[in-house]
Amino acid sequence: MTSATALPARLSALLPDLSPWRSSADFRLLWVQGLVTNFGSFMALIALPLQIKELTGSPLAVGAMGAVELVPLVVFGLYGGALADSADRRKVILGTEAGLGLLALVLLVNAAMPDPMLWPLYLVAGGVSALAGLQRPALDSLIARIVPHDQLTAAAALNSLRWQFGAITGPAVAGLVAAYAGHATAYTVTVVTFTVSVLLCLRLAPAPPAEHARKPSLRGIAEGARYAWSRPVLLGTYAIDLAAMFFAFPNTIFPFLADELDAEWSLGLMYAAGSVGSLVLGLTSGWTSRVRRHGLFVVFGAAAWGLAVAAAGWFSNVWLVLVCLAVAGAGDMLSGLGRSTIWNQTIPEELRGRLAGIEVLSYSVGPQLGQVRAGAMAGWTGTRTAIWTGGVACVASVALLAAALPKLLTYDSVTDADAVRRRQSSPSGV
């Protein structure tokens, strides 16, 4: 190969691996459906805390969203995992998506009132958390069924790209829409996107449970928890993500950070910056399909996230803050690719739904608790101090957990016993 052709070849090797898109019609459908619904979800995700801020002016009131969302997420996330192993996953996804659309309609009606009320915002936040807890295990556990085993990292990268696109465009547009057109307009967009999403979900192929699947029960949930507890690699992915999000998830206090930096215009960019970093990594993720040591992704990505968040809290220049948030997003993307790949490569099909329920808790409970921590600490020490100290605590906790669970660092997808068994039993690929 000549030097003239070597550079394009190297660049093409960095591009995302599109194998899952080509090999699975259901994956393509879920990808498009997720793109639509993510855009609308992020519109509401920005408009909701911004509306609470305008109604109360309190960082603690905004952070309290995390407390309201926590219990429904835990309860319905665990139940949703058991449900995904015992019901048609397509029906679970379709029903919960319709329910989320109805909750968006409640937000729209409340925002259109002459004097919007505060309590419906918390009620909807809890309802969204419950439905998301029911839905995510079915969504996550479906991927390993419809995508060949050797394409799971590529599928995780493509799904992250889809999510990041909504995370960039949704907040950026929502900040402008909420500021200039009102919250009702933002919620209207959310309702429309969920309507389109439901129509797309109707086209998914049925995904019935295994032949001998049992009904959801506490015993079944406990069986999944025992399996996770017996696998140090899985424990490491859960624990590191929980710690990283608890200590270094400052999104809920971004409205106050923008005010403190005298850059109210930057609010939407703050919410979108992390996704920009994730998107850049995703667009150059072709190399990740050739990596075997995915535990290193988890550890180094989470540490990079914490360092960048700490820097974002330290700097007073808004552009430097935005750059740091973008770097944090790239770290989070890398860690997420590692977690998703390890989960899909090692967990047996009969436990996939219940373990997906635990996964939902690992990557969702952390941000909810992180919102409470960030809001409470910002009210006590100030916004920027709450951010940078959380980033430092994140790095320290990741280092301690990596030292306590060394099997995560040595995980190899070719030699790990669980990964070998899962690959041999996979009906959809080698």
Q: Could you report the per-residue pLDDT of 134-145, keeping only the tens digit for each?
A: 998 888 888 888
Three-state SS string over 51-107 comes to HHHHHHCCHHHHHHHHHHHHHHHHHHHHHHHHHHHHCCHHHHHHHHHHHHHHHHHHH
Percent of the chain with pLDDT over 90: 31
Distances (CA, A) of 276 to 18, 130, 174, 331, 332: 20, 28, 16, 12, 11
Q: Could you report the per-residue pLDDT of 81-111, keeping only the tens digit for each?
A: 888 888 898 999 999 999 999 999 999 999 9
Residue 306 confidence (pLDDT): 95
With 0-12 / 13-18 / 19 or more C-beta atoms within 10 angstroms meaning exposed / middle / buried, residue 403 is exposed
> How far apart (Å, rounded) are the C-alpha atoms in residues 228 and 221?
11
Which pTM value belongs to this model? 0.72
Which range of 9-18, 136-145, 323-332, 360-369 scores highest in mean pLDDT? It is: 323-332
Considering Cα of 109, then 113, then 117, then 118, what sign does the dihedral take?
A: positive
Cβ contacts of 317-322, under 8 Å, gap ≥ 24? 318/258, 318/261, 318/263, 318/266, 321/257, 321/261, 321/270, 322/266, 322/269, 322/270, 322/273
> How far apart (Å, rounded) are the C-alpha atoms in residues 89 and 97?
12
> How far apart (Å, rounded) are the C-alpha atoms in residues 224 and 238?
14
Residue 133 confidence (pLDDT): 86
Percent of the chain with pLDDT over 70: 94
Mean pLDDT, residues 303-323 taken together:
94
